[in-house]
């Protein structure tokens, strides 16, 4: 097969990837071709004399685009159309692409050339987007140790290698410890309270294991653990499985305590080498938050304002448990169980009651009608090359009927498709070298139930929220006005700001005026009854303060651990966690709880000194939405301002500046507290 016949390489020059012809056998030839060609271009580029935007940075942008054109569809297919044939090919490809990126990040000639672009007198004449791309590139090189010399450089490299080993070890310990426990139940009476679907799953797990022929098997994996904690009436068994869960990776060979100590020490040392006081400050160098004090104060303000309501929520739970469940002293292993009973008791509302009001096409039409009104756009379904027959494609037109973007929607769960829901970029908006504008295209992927028979697909309100959330990410990518690739759409947006546009969209799903745009019974066309809507709203804020404080406990622990905590000092990690708990928690876990030893987000994921991002983005999105509450939920003038100051700017401008331009002031926590029923 020649390169010309390879659909992945053909996709370099077509508007959309040629999905209908792509097969796993096309991946490696296409990828090898692009990596080789990029490598050659890079060698030529790094010896360019007097590098400038045009002869250097623009070329780097072009190389990124080339690779993304080929690699993007492959990662996408790996997620939505996996197969035994693709899997090993994908593994091999990931290694090649990672190696390519790792080389780029370590390429000193490249760094020197970008510095020259920055100091050249032509820099002043670049537009803000281009300047930002240069500044970001320099910043990222600096943060990965490019300014270090001699022994410091070697030390920094060694630390990074060790940190990456530690992260793997941490995660491995958690996995092994999770696997090491099982609860095999042989008496049916011990299953009291558990729904049939959970029992069936546990019975299947038992027969599929090599060890047991019958009975019911429960593990510490979330789909097994959570329902057990919520429904099992046996208090003794709940305590047993809870104790196992919260002490994972805290004993013997699998103990993560030494891994944590070493990680904290090395992170602090690495941050100091780059010139930061602590790892928290290092982490914030690429984020929206100004400094670690700002984050800590923000978390403490939220905690303090949520405290009173949270205390009353705990009191309500304790009273309920005593009166209705015979639990005199509420323990940590009773909380999910009692909460679920209280929720049912107070807000009896089931998904099955609501689903008939959320049929697929009505929900889509309603969501499209909303954004069409807000942003003066039009969404039209169009033909396009697809990877599955259930995938749909839409174009977005502006008010002059000019096409500005497009998106795929892949709504249903199916075999060989990764679970969950996400938005990803297919193509990015930017000005090409030939002067034409490439339009942004997004993938919106969900895993909702497909239609059965001639009944339309009926979605839960939670699924509607998910759809709005992902569409919010999509609009961020598609309504961008940026013309420079690396800072266009969701590119170059700080981590603690990416969830702003998505969480913002969720707010509309709780608005009667908006819900009326789509919530109609699929058979009778009757609008969602007031009683049901009222129950939905009431259920929304069930225990919201308790949950708020739990998230703040994790976030504050994470930030203090990476700022004021001294790994060599007298205070232990456990002591710090205890202090945070006594400051924040309204329900203190038992002293044997070693939650930190399985806190993979911050020790094995990318959330070290970044866990606050969840709450941060929630505050910003709620506060942005409050502007619509003040000026009119579907007010096009407010929406235009939101689009111009926040959605359109991508990574080309400071997001906090954009927020302040939109709101006319700094963010406030009040809207989130009000939306959560706290204020
Ligand atoms: Zn999201």
pLDDT digits (tens, 9 = 90+) for 135-175: 999 999 999 999 999 999 999 999 999 999 999 999 999 99
- In the reported structure, the alpha carbon of residue 504 is separated from the centroid of ligand 1 by a whole-number distance in angstroms of 10
Residue 591, in any domain of the structure: no
How far is residue 246 from each of residues 302, 553, 576, 608, measured CA to CA in Å?
26, 16, 17, 20
- In the reported structure, the alpha carbon of residue 469 is separated from the centroid of ligand 1 by a whole-number distance in angstroms of 6
CB < 8 Å & 24+ apart, contacts of 422-427: 422/470, 422/473, 423/470, 423/471, 423/473, 423/474, 423/477, 423/502, 424/76, 425/72, 425/477, 425/489, 425/490, 425/491, 426/16, 426/17, 426/72, 426/73, 426/76, 427/15, 427/16, 427/69, 427/72
Residue 369, in any domain of the structure: yes
Q: Are residues 379 and 463 part of one domain?
A: yes
Q: Are residues 187 and 142 part of one domain?
A: no
CA neighbor of 668 nearest in space, from 619, 601, 607: 619
Active site residues: 470
Query: With contact defined as beta carbons under 8 Å apart, do 410 and 80 qualify?
Result: yes
How many separate domains does the chain show? 3
Tokens representing residue 118 in the block: 């920055």
Percentage of residues of the chain with pLDDT beyond 70: 100
Residue 40, in any domain of the structure: yes
Q: Are residues 222 and 97 part of one domain?
A: no
Q: Are residues 370 and 236 part of one domain?
A: no
Query: With contact defined as beta carbons under 8 Å apart, do 626 and 511 qualify?
Result: no
Q: Are residues 65 and 121 part of one domain?
A: yes
Q: Are residues 131 and 231 part of one domain?
A: no
Q: Are residues 97 and 198 part of one domain?
A: no
Residue 578, in any domain of the structure: no
pLDDT of residue 304: 96
Q: Are residues 11 and 132 part of one domain?
A: yes
How far is residue 237 from each of residues 176, 188, 211, 247, measured CA to CA in Å?
22, 13, 20, 16
Residue 127 has pLDDT above 90, yes or no: yes
pLDDT tens digits, 634-643: 999 999 999 9
For 597, half-sphere exposure in the C-beta direction (CA atoms, 13 angstrom radius) is 25
- 10 Å CB burial of residue 329 (0-12, 13-18, 19+) is exposed
How far is residue 625 from each of residues 164, 494, 632, 659, 678, measured CA to CA in Å?
39, 20, 10, 12, 17
- In the reported structure, the alpha carbon of residue 470 is separated from the centroid of ligand 1 by a whole-number distance in angstroms of 6
CA neighbor of 384 nearest in space, from 8, 14, 3, 5: 14
Distance between CA atoms of residues 667 and 616, nearest Å: 10
Tell me the pLDDT band of 108, cut-offs 50, 70 and 90.
very high
Distance between CA atoms of residues 433 and 635, nearest Å: 38
pLDDT tens digits, 467-511: 999 999 999 999 999 999 999 999 999 999 999 999 999 999 999
For range 317-337, the mean pLDDT: 97
pLDDT tens digits, 552-573: 999 999 999 999 999 999 999 9
Distance between CA atoms of residues 584 and 299, nearest Å: 10
CATH number at residue 86: 1.20.1050.40
pLDDT of residue 30: 97
Please report where in the chains the tokens 């001699």 appear, as a residue: 150
pLDDT of residue 1: 67
- In the reported structure, the alpha carbon of residue 647 is separated from the centroid of ligand 1 by a whole-number distance in angstroms of 15
- The region that residue 418 occupies, defined by phi over 0 for left and psi between -120 and 50 for alpha, beta otherwise, is beta
CB atoms within 10 A of CB 550: 16
Distance between CA atoms of residues 79 and 455, nearest Å: 28
Residue 104, in any domain of the structure: yes
Q: Specify the pTM.
A: 0.92
- In the reported structure, the alpha carbon of residue 270 is separated from the centroid of ligand 1 by a whole-number distance in angstroms of 30
Residue 625, in any domain of the structure: no
Query: With contact defined as beta carbons under 8 Å apart, do 270 and 611 qualify?
Result: no
For range 531-558, the mean pLDDT: 94
For range 44-48, the mean pLDDT: 93
Q: Which of 454, 488, 522 marks a domain boundary?
A: 488
CATH number at residue 395: 3.40.390.10
pLDDT of residue 2: 80
The rounded Cα 111 to chain-centroid distance in angstroms is: 30
Q: Which of 190, 218, 247 marks a domain boundary?
A: 247
- In the reported structure, the alpha carbon of residue 39 is separated from the centroid of ligand 1 by a whole-number distance in angstroms of 34
Distance between CA atoms of residues 672 and 668, nearest Å: 8
- The region that residue 221 occupies, defined by phi over 0 for left and psi between -120 and 50 for alpha, beta otherwise, is beta
Q: Are residues 141 and 39 part of one domain?
A: yes
Q: Are residues 242 and 135 part of one domain?
A: no
Q: Which of 232, 247, 262 marks a domain boundary?
A: 247
pLDDT tens digits, 231-242: 999 999 999 999
Query: With contact defined as beta carbons under 8 Å apart, do 561 and 618 qualify?
Result: no
Residue 35, in any domain of the structure: yes
Backbone phi, psi, residue 572, to 5°: -90, 165
Distance between CA atoms of residues 674 and 633, nearest Å: 16
pLDDT of residue 112: 96
The residue range of the domain holding 220 is 182-247
Tokens representing residue 593 in the block: 């709880």
For 498, half-sphere exposure in the C-beta direction (CA atoms, 13 angstrom radius) is 19
Q: Are residues 481 and 365 part of one domain?
A: yes
- In the reported structure, the alpha carbon of residue 585 is separated from the centroid of ligand 1 by a whole-number distance in angstroms of 26
- In the reported structure, the alpha carbon of residue 536 is separated from the centroid of ligand 1 by a whole-number distance in angstroms of 22
- DSSP letters for 559-603: HHHTTT--TTSSS-HHHHHHHHHHHH-SSPPPTT--GGGG-HHHH
Q: Are residues 188 and 88 part of one domain?
A: no
Residue 285, in any domain of the structure: no
């Amino acid at each position: 097969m020649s390169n010309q016949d390879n659909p992945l390489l053909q996709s370099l020059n077509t508007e959309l990837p040629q999905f209908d012809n792509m097969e796993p056998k096309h991946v490696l030839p296409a990828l090898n071709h692009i990596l080789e060609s990029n490598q050659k271009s890079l060698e030529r580029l790094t010896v360019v004399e007097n590098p400038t935007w045009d002869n250097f940075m623009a070329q780097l942008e072009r190389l990124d685009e080339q690779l993304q054109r080929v690699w993007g569809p492959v990662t996408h297919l790996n997620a939505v159309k996996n197969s035994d044939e693709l899997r090993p090919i994908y593994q091999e490809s990931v290694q090649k692409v990672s190696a390519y990126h790792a080389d780029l990040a370590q390429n000193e000639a490249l760094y020197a050339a970008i510095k020259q672009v920055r100091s050249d007198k032509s820099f002043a004449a670049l537009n803000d987007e281009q300047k930002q791309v240069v500044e970001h590139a320099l910043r990222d090189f600096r943060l990965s140790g490019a300014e270090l010399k001699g022994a410091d450089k070697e030390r920094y490299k060694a630390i990074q290698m060790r940190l990456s080993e530690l992260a793997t070890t941490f995660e491995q310990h958690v996995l092994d410890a999770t696997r090491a426990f099982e609860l095999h139940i042989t008496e049916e009476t011990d299953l009291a309270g558990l729904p049939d679907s959970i029992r069936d799953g546990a019975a299947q797990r038992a027969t599929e294991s090599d060890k047991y022929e019958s009975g019911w098997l429960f593990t510490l994996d979330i789909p097994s653990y959570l329902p057990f904690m919520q429904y099992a009436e046996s208090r003794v068994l709940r305590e047993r499985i809870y104790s196992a869960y919260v002490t994972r990776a805290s004993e013997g060979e699998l103990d993560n305590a030494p891994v944590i100590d070493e990680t904290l020490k090395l992170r602090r040392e690495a941050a100091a080498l780059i010139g930061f006081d602590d790892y928290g400050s290092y982490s914030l160098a690429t984020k929206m938050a100004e400094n670690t004090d700002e984050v800590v104060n923000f978390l403490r303000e939220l905690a303090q304002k949520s405290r009173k309501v949270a205390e009353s929520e705990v009191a309500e739970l304790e009273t309920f448990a005593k009166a209705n469940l015979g639990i005199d002293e509420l323990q940590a292993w009773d909380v999910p169980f009692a909460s679920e009973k209280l929720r049912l008791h107070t807000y009896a509302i089931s998904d099955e009651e609501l689903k008939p009001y959320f049929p697929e096409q009505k929900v889509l039409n309603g969501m499209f009608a909303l954004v069409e009104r807000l942003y003066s756009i039009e969404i039209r379904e169009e033909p396009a090359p697809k990877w599955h027959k259930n995938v749909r494609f839409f174009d977005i037109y502006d008010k002059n009927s000019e096409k500005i973007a497009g998106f795929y929607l892949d709504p249903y769960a199916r075999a060989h498709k990764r679970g969950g829901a996400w938005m990803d970029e297919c193509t990015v908006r930017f000005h090409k070298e030939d002067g034409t504008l490439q339009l942004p295209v997004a993938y919106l992927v969900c895993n909702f139930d497909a239609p059965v028979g001639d009944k339309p697909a009926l979605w839960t309100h939670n699924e509607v929220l998910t759809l709005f959330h992902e569409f919010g990410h999509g609009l961020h990518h598609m309504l961008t006005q940026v013309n420079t690739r690396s800072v266009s759409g969701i590119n170059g947006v700080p981590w603690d700001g990416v969830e702003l546009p998505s969480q913002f969209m969720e707010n509309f799903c709780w608005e009667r005026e908006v819900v009326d745009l789509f919530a109609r019974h699929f058979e009778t066309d009757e609008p969602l009854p007031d009683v049901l809507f009222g129950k939905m709203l009431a259920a929304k804020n069930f225990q919201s303060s308790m949950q708020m404080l739990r998230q703040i406990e994790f976030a504050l622990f994470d930030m203090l651990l990476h700022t004021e905590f001294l790994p060599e000092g007298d205070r232990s990690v456990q002591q710090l966690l205890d202090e945070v708990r006594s400051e924040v928690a309204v329900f203190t876990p038992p002293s044997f709880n070693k939650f930190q030893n399985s806190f993979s987000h911050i020790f094995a994921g990318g959330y070290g000194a970044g866990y606050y991002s969840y709450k941060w983005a929630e505050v910003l999105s709620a506060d942005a939405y409050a502007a619509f509450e003040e000026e009119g939920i579907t007010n096009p003038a407010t929406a235009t301002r939101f689009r111009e100051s926040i959605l359109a700017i991508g990574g080309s401008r400071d997001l906090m500046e954009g927020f302040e331009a939109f709101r006319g002031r700094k963010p406030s926590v009040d809207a989130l507290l009000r939306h959560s029923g706290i204020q």
